[in-house]
C-alpha cells in the first residue's frame, strides 16, 4: 500500500498508495503535502474521547459497551529478507518487525485506556520510506468473542513466527491464529496484482463480521475473503480482477450487499479530481458505484441507514495534514461534509449514542500520540 515518506515523482506511483494503509505512521517532515482543497466550515461538536494510543486503526464497540481500538504499534528491529520470495522490494522494503510491538486497547465510558490484548506483531518499512508502521489493523466481534486481522506480520514483514492472519482473542486475553491469510494468498493469487506495489503477506486493512463469519479485506492484493470460526478461508471477491489496483480499504454491509470504499492512487496519476468511490458488490459478483466524488476513503459506517465515509485527506494526489473529514455518501454525487479538519484519521465507528468515534493522529505521530475523537452533529 502506499508509501508516503519522501515521495518524489521518481517513485513508482503504484507503490505510493499501499503503504499508507499498511503503516499509517510516517515522519511528518517526509510527507509530500498536496495542495489542499477549499475547506468546508462544519458545525460539529468534536471532543477528545481517549488518548495515549500508538498508531490507532480500526475500532469497534464491544458487547460490553466499551470501545476497543486496534493499534498499529511501534514497529520493530528484526530484519526481513532483502531478496527472494519472502521480501518486499525497495524502497518499501526490506521491512523490520517485532513479534510483540502492537496491541488492542479497551476504552471505558470515561475515555480511560487500558491494554486489553498485548504482544501482537508490528513492523515497519525501510528507513527510505519513513519506517512506516503496521500491526493489528482491525477488530470484529462474533457474539462476545473478539477477532482481529493482522497486517504487520509474516516473513516479508520481519515476523516469520506469526503469519498475517485472523486471530481469536481467548477469554484469558491471549490470542490464537485461526486462519493464515498469507498462506491462502500464496495458494490463491489474485488476477491482477500490482508488481511495483506487492507484499507477499498482503496488507490487510479492514475486517467485518456477518452471520457468524468474518470478512477480512486486503488492500495490497485487492481481495475480500470469508473466514469461518474454525478458520476455513474462501474468496468472496477478487477486487483486482474487476476494479484493478485501486487499494480497497473500507468495508460495510447493509441491505444485502457489501459496500467497499477505496484509497486510490497518489501522485500525478491521481489527477486533480475527487475520483475515489464507494462501490456496491452485487450478488452476481459485479460492482456498481454506490457513491462517487470521494478521496482517500479509509472507513465506512452506517448511521440511521445513512452511509458515511471517512477520508484520510480530501486532497487529490496525496494526503495533506489536517484535511481528513467525514462525508455523507450519496449516489448522485459528492455528499455533505459533516466534519472536517481531522488530522490523519484512520478508522471510524458509530457508537450506541449515535456519535461518530474516529481514530486520529494515526499517520506521522509518535508513541502515545494517537487519539479517538467523539464527533456529534445536529
Whether 371 maps to a domain, the answer reads no
For residue 97, is it within any domain? yes
pLDDT in tens, 55-100: 999 999 999 999 999 999 999 999 999 999 999 999 889 999 999 9
pLDDT by residue for the chain (378 residues), tens only, comes to: 333 322 222 223 333 344 444 433 232 223 333 333 333 445 579 999 999 999 999 999 999 999 999 999 999 999 999 999 999 999 889 999 999 999 999 999 999 999 999 999 999 999 888 888 999 999 999 999 999 999 999 999 999 999 999 999 999 999 999 999 999 999 999 999 988 788 999 999 999 999 999 999 999 999 999 999 999 999 999 999 999 999 999 999 999 999 999 998 776 666 677 889 999 999 999 999 999 999 999 999 999 999 999 999 999 888 899 999 999 999 998 889 999 999 999 999 999 999 999 999 987 688 999 999 999 986
* Pairing, β 78-79 against β 145-150: unpaired
Q: Is residue 342 part of a domain?
A: no
Domain assignment of residue 139, yes or no: yes
**pLDDT tens digit sequence for 282-320:** 999 999 999 999 999 999 999 999 999 999 999 988 889
For residue 362, which of 60, 1, 71 has the smallest C-alpha distance? Answer: 71
In a domain, 253, yes or no: yes
Cβ distance 169 to 104 under 8 Å? yes
Whether residue 131 contacts residue 124, with contact meaning beta carbons closer than 8 Å, is answered with: yes
Q: What is the pTM of this model?
A: 0.90
Count up the domains in the chain and report the number: 1
Does residue 243 have a cis peptide bond before it, meaning omega lies within 30 degrees of 0? Answer: no
| pLDDT (0 to 100) of residue 4 | 32
- CB-based contact 70:54 (threshold 8 Å): no
**Burial bucket for residue 164 (CB in 10 Å: 0-12, 13-18, 19+):** buried
Return the residue matching grid coordinates 468473542: 145
Distance CA 228, CA 213 (A): 5
Distance of alpha carbon 131 from alpha carbon 127, whole angstroms: 5
Q: List Cβ neighbours of 305 (8 Å cut-off, separation of 6 or more).
A: 254
The angle subtended at Cα 258 by Cα 234 and Cα 371, nearest 5°, is 100
Query: What residues contact 142, with CB distance under 8 A and at least 6 apart?
Result: 209, 212, 213, 214, 229
Per the domain annotation, does 106 fall within a domain?
Answer: yes
Please give the grid coordinates belonging to residue 72.
498499529
Residue 352 falls within a domain, yes or no?
A: no
Q: Is residue 49 part of a domain?
A: no
Residue 285, domain extent: 15-40+55-292
Q: Assign 66 to helix, strand or coil.
A: coil
| Structural element, H or E, at residue 181 | helix 181-187
CATH code: domain of residue 99 = 2.115.10
CA angle 59-64-66, nearest 5°? 40
Closest CA to 98 of 152, 136, 58, 25: 152
Question: What is the spatial order of strands in the sheet that 306-311 belongs to?
Answer: 297-303, 306-311, 324-328, 337-342
* Overall residue count recorded for the chain in this entry: 378
Amino acid at each position: 500500500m502506499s508509501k508516503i515518506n519522501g515521495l518524489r515523482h521518481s517513485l513508482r506511483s503504484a507503490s505510493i498508495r499501499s503503504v499508507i494503509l499498511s503503516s499509517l505512521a510516517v515522519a511528518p517532515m517526509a510527507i509530500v503535502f498536496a495542495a489542499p482543497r477549499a475547506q468546508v466550515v462544519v458545525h460539529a461538536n468534536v471532543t477528545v474521547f481517549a488518548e495515549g494510543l500508538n498508531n490507532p486503526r480500526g475500532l469497534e464497540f464491544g458487547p460490553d459497551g466499551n470501545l476497543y481500538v486496534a493499534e498499529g504499534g511501534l514497529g520493530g528491529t528484526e530484519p526481513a529478507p532483502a531478496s527472494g520470495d519472502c521480501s518486499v522490494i525497495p524502497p518499501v522494503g526490506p521491512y523490520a518487525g517485532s513479534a510483540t510491538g502492537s496491541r488492542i486497547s479497551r476504552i471505558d465510558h470515561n475515555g480511560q485506556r487500558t491494554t486489553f490484548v498485548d504482544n501482537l506483531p508490528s513492523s515497519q518499512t525501510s528507513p527510505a520510506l519513513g519506517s512506516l508502521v503496521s500491526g493489528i489493523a482491525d477488530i470484529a466481534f462474533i457474539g462476545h468473542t473478539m477477532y482481529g486481522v493482522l497486517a504487520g506480520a509474516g516473513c516479508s514483514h520481519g515476523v516469520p513466527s506469526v503469519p498475517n492472519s485472523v486471530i481469536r482473542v481467548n477469554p484469558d486475553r491471549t490470542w490464537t491464529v485461526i486462519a493464515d491469510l498469507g498462506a491462502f494468498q500464496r495458494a490463491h493469487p489474485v488476477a491482477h496484482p500490482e508488481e511495483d506495489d506487492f507484499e507477499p503477506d498482503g496488507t490487510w486493512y479492514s475486517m467485518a463480521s456477518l452471520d457468524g463469519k468474518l470478512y477480512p479485506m486486503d488492500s495490497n492484493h485487492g481481495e475480500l475473503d470469508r473466514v469461518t470460526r474454525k478458520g476455513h478461508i474462501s474468496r468472496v471477491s477478487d477486487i483486482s480482477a474487476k476494479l484493478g489496483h485501486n487499494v480497497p480499504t473500507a468495508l460495510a454491509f447493509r441491505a444485502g450487499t457489501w459496500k467497499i470504499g477505496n484509497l486510490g492512487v497518489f501522485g500525478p496519476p491521481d489527477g486533480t479530481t475527487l475520483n475515489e468511490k464507494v462501490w456496491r458488490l452485487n450478488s452476481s459478483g459485479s460492482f456498481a458505484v454506490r457513491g462517487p466524488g470521494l478521496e482517500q476513503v479509509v472507513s465506512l459506517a452506517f448511521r440511521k441507514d445513512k452511509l458515511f465515509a471517512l477520508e484520510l485527506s480530501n486532497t487529490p494526489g496525496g494526503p495533506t495534514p489536517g484535511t481528513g473529514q467525514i462525508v455523507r455518501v450519496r449516489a448522485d454525487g459528492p455528499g455533505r461534509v459533516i466534519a472536517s479538519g481531522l488530522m490523519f484519521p484512520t478508522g471510524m465507528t458509530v457508537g450506541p449514542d449515535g456519535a461518530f468515534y474516529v481514530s486520529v493522529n494515526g499517520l506521522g505521530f509518535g508513541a502515545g500520540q494517537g487519539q479517538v475523537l467523539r464527533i456529534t452533529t445536529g
